[in-house]
């Protein structure tokens, strides 16, 4: 172990939270090392809804305009009944929030990750570097990697996803299966797709589906449902899953142009997975940070996708965490590292700022998902007559948040 490298700040995972944290620290003149288990940046999920709060974070990181240039700005959100095909709610997205006008786009995940990566100095990310275990070595953390090498870290930030090694070390319980699964895909239209700048949601009959144009030539889609034994072998392959989704949507009142998006998707552009979330009680009782270790992104607050806030919250985490840590490092003076106590205080400050926000988002997402996909007769009636508009406005309310500057 004597030959182990000693690093100041090690970030586990080059996803949205990890790269946002690294870039935020870089903007403040603080070096970090990102360890990514894959050989390249991972773009699973294809795209994600990027709400107003996410653009506040991206602006704080200095990349907001680069994202805006390549993605459509939405005018409205329309929720349709999957049973009748009629609009259940229409919500304008051209409205003022607490910190200025709202803006919502569907951003390609690989484009955003590459944009963040390109802003980092060379060598900031070390690929094929998976942390498999963590030991304490005095006030340092000894990180054992899958290739047998080790790294000593003065600060460890876990941005390593729902199966986080860092979250496990902190004692956070594993995320819970929600009972729902999601299939997502991306369709390309080289000659243009013809969709307007709006989010379309189809809700009812036990599922929730969405169609969101990313740019003039690409459209993202999603389908969320409760798996059952009646699904047969749908989850055996991507091809069978896509066929299953199309059968379900054709049996509902879904317009042909929305079905075409799914039909166009290449097999390599479709992915399916069970939905997990961390119990809000686990965040009330559990440790988000301990000493010089903390978690962010899905390692901190995995949530179901009904609010479209998972990726947005990860970007918020990155900005807040970089701000708190950089204050400690910059305060120590040029060429000096802050002491263990100063780092621990900075991470505790981050945890206190983010805990309630994470609990709120996880809880709201679960409740919205339950209402949207329930087959209970009373809930179905209320959803189609009254609740769809309120649920749509809840999305706007959760996005009306500013994580602040670096």
The CATH number linked to 63 is 3.50.50.60
Whether 3 shows a pLDDT value over 60: the answer reads: no
**Residue 331 within any structural domain of the chain:** yes
231 phi, psi to nearest 5 deg = -75, -15
- Structure confidence at residue 154 as a pLDDT band (50, 70, 90): very high
Q: Give ∠ CA 56-93-273 in degrees, rounded to 5.
A: 75
Q: How many helices (H) and strands (E) does the chain have?
A: 12, 19
Strands 270-277 and 218-225: unpaired
**Residue 210 within any structural domain of the chain:** no
pLDDT tens digits, 308-367? 999 999 999 999 999 999 999 887 666 668 899 999 999 999 999 999 999 999 999 998
216 phi, psi to nearest 5 deg = -70, -15
DSSP state letters, 139-157: TEEEEEETTS-EEEEEEEE
pLDDT at 193: 97
What is the enclosing helix (H) or strand (E) of 100?
A: strand 100-101
**Residue 389 within any structural domain of the chain:** no
Contact 315, 14 (CB under 8 A): no
The parent domain of residue 314 ranges over 5-69+107-176+277-372
**Residue 382 within any structural domain of the chain:** no
Give the number of domains in the chain.
Answer: 1
**Residue 85 within any structural domain of the chain:** no
pLDDT tens digits, 373-394? 776 777 666 666 666 667 778 8
**Residue 266 within any structural domain of the chain:** no
pTM: 0.94
**Residue 136 within any structural domain of the chain:** yes
**Residue 194 within any structural domain of the chain:** no
Cα separation, 318 vs 296, in Å, equals 7
């Amino acid at each position: 172990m004597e030959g182990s490298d000693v690093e100041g700040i090690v970030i586990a995972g080059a996803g949205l939270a990890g790269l946002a944290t690294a870039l935020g620290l870089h903007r403040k003149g603080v070096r970090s090392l990102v360890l990514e288990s894959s050989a390249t940046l991972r773009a699973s999920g294809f795209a994600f809804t990027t709400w107003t709060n996410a653009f506040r974070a991206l602006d704080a990181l200095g990349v907001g305009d680069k994202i805006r240039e390549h993605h459509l700005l939405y005018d409205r959100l329309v929720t349709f009944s999957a049973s009748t095909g009629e609009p259940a709610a229409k919500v304008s997205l051209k409205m003022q929030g607490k910190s200025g006008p709202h803006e919502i786009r569907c951003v390609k995940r690989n484009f955003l990750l590459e944009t963040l990566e390109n802003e980092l100095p060379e060598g900031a990310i070390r690929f094929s570097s998976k942390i498999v275990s963590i030991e304490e070595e005095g006030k340092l953390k000894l990180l054992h990697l899958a290739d047998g090498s080790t790294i000593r870290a003065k600060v460890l930030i876990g941005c390593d996803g729902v199966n986080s090694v860092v979250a496990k070390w902190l004692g956070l319980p594993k995320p819970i299966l929600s009972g729902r699964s999601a299939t997502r895909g991306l369709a390309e239209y080289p000659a243009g797709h013809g969709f307007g700048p709006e989010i379309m949601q189809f809700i009812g009959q036990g599922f929730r589906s969405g169609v969101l144009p990313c740019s003039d030539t690409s459209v993202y889609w999603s389908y969320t449902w409760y798996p059952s034994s009646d699904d047969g072998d749908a989850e055996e392959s991507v091809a069978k899953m896509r066929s299953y989704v199309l059968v379900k949507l054709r049996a509902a009142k879904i317009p042909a142009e929305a079905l075409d998006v799914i039909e166009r998707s290449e097999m390599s552009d479709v992915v399916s997975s069970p939905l997990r979330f961390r119990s809000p009680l686990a965040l009330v009782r559990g440790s988000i940070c301990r000493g010089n270790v903390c978690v962010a992104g899905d390692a901190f607050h995995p949530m179901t996708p009904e609010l479209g806030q998972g990726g947005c919250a990860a970007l918020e985490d990155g900005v807040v965490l970089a701000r708190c840590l950089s204050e400690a490092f910059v305060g120590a003076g040029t060429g000096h590292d802050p002491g263990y106590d100063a780092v621990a205080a900075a991470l505790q400050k981050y945890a206190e700022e983010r805990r309630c926000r994470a609990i709120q988002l996880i809880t709201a997402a679960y409740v919205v998902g339950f209402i949207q996909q329930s087959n209970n007769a009373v809930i179905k009636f209320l959803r189609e007559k009254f609740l769809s508009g309120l649920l749509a406005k809840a999305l706007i309310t959760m996005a009306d948040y500013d994580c602040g500057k670096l």
